[in-house]
Amino acid sequence: MDNDIPYLLLTPGPLTTSRRVREAMMRDYSTWDVDYNSLVDRVRDQLVRLATNEDGYTCVLMQGSGTFAVEATIGSVLPADGRLLVINNGAYAQRMATIAEKLGIPHLQLQTGETHPPATADLQQVLAASPEITHVAMVHCETTTGMLNPAAEIGQVVKDHGCCYIVDAMSSLGGVPLSMEELKADYLVSSANKCIQGVPGFGFVIARQQSIEAIDGQARSLSLDLFDQWQEMESKGGKWRYTSPTHVVCAFAEALAELEDEGGVEARHRRYCENQQRLVKGMEQRGFRTLLPGELQSPVITAFYDPCPGFDFATFYDLLKQRRFVVYPGKVSEAQTFRIGTIGHVFPDDIDELLDCISEVLREMEIDPLQAGGDLP
């Protein structure tokens, strides 16, 4: 653990970042500066190469959190006569449905429950019964539970029915091996402060250039107009339409270099998997139970059942924070849980230290999960 990091963020983002990424923000740039705008273009090119080896793809950066980029996509990609199907098994898919509702976009939901992955047979049935659906959207890694959804299998069904496929890869791109071709994705949306290990401030969308060109005039927002943002960057060498997060972009460029130095996505994925597996093994030894079975679990974040009835997460959180570890509250509606992330500038030794601290905190709280048996349904 870096000695200059006051807290280790074991969350789905923002994440603990390295010193080299933070130091990249120490330089000021003008948004009109040619060096800065050239950096933006390099970042865009690198992101395309991270998601596909094919030609003809492009990338748009969008100010704000990842949700801004998701809203920009949904609000710009669907035409006036479009119909959206949201595959919903968590809070972040529900957020996409809420975006569609707020924008007045007709939509349906295929709800599978928070602890179940979507089934291709169910999707086939919905699409066959609703030929008016033009676009399908889903979350690849649903951090409500930590589930890694079968995005490639779903994508094949979407393509079989001739629909456009929007994939929220917020918590997978950069940390889980994937490609646009494998997922059959038309639009891939992610964020600076997730597995690429930058800092918050912008999201981005990767798509075929001809797809972006075809959405001119469809946006339902001025600032979240995906086509206008792309056209500005294309025609003006990386310039954003409105004030861009210059320091965040510099940090992200350094984070991309750091990802390459680590050995790329495959190497980072191995580290994340080792972190997560070590965490689960240690938590189970201490009497905790995971919400999801291992075959559904991503290496990004893990939901654990509360260890006993009446468990005070706020106290647990505060005692761990005093020991420099920041964990995450639960977001599942079906059970009492909390979550621990295993991505970011976090390594197996950090997980070992966390587990030791959890043992200390449990003693201080006078809780023995092994005796309590876990708060299982």
Q: Has residue 2 been placed in a domain?
A: no
Full residue range of the structural domain in which residue 146 is found: 19-260
Calpha distance 97→38 (Å, rounded): 36
Positions in the chain short of pLDDT 70:
1-5, 372-377
Split into its structural domains, the chain has a count of 2
**Within this chain, do residues 196 and 51 fall inside the same structural domain, yes or no?**
yes
Q: Has residue 231 been placed in a domain?
A: yes
User: What integer pLDDT is reported at residue 377 of this predicted model?
Assistant: 46
Contacts by 351-357, CB closer than 8 A, 24 or more apart:
351/275, 351/278, 351/279, 351/282, 352/278, 352/282, 353/1, 354/8, 354/10, 354/279, 354/320, 354/325, 355/278, 355/279, 355/282, 355/283, 355/286, 357/320, 357/323, 357/325
**Within this chain, do residues 251 and 285 fall inside the same structural domain, yes or no?**
no
**Within this chain, do residues 144 and 233 fall inside the same structural domain, yes or no?**
yes
The domain spanning residue 61 has which CATH number? 3.40.640.10
Cα distances (Å, whole numbers) of residue 153 to 8, 77, 296: 35, 22, 14
Q: State which of 225, 240, 260 marks the end of a domain.
A: 260
User: What integer pLDDT is reported at residue 5 of this predicted model?
Assistant: 62
Q: Has residue 95 been placed in a domain?
A: yes
**Within this chain, do residues 200 and 323 fall inside the same structural domain, yes or no?**
no
Three-state DSSP at 187 gives strand
Q: State which of 260, 283, 315 marks the end of a domain.
A: 260
Each residue's pLDDT tens digit, 190-232: 999 999 999 999 999 999 999 999 999 999 999 999 999 999 9
Structure tokens at 159: 């393509």
Q: State which of 211, 234, 260 marks the end of a domain.
A: 260
User: What integer pLDDT is reported at residue 1 of this predicted model?
Assistant: 47
Cβ neighbours of 294 (radius 10 Å):
10
Q: Has residue 377 been placed in a domain?
A: no
Q: Has residue 1 been placed in a domain?
A: no
**Within this chain, do residues 72 and 181 fall inside the same structural domain, yes or no?**
yes
**Within this chain, do residues 131 and 212 fall inside the same structural domain, yes or no?**
yes
User: What integer pLDDT is reported at residue 373 of this predicted model?
Assistant: 55
User: What integer pLDDT is reported at residue 334 of this predicted model?
Assistant: 79
Helix axes 264-285, 348-365, angle to 10 degrees: 20
**Within this chain, do residues 240 and 286 fall inside the same structural domain, yes or no?**
no
The domain spanning residue 368 has which CATH number? 3.90.1150.10
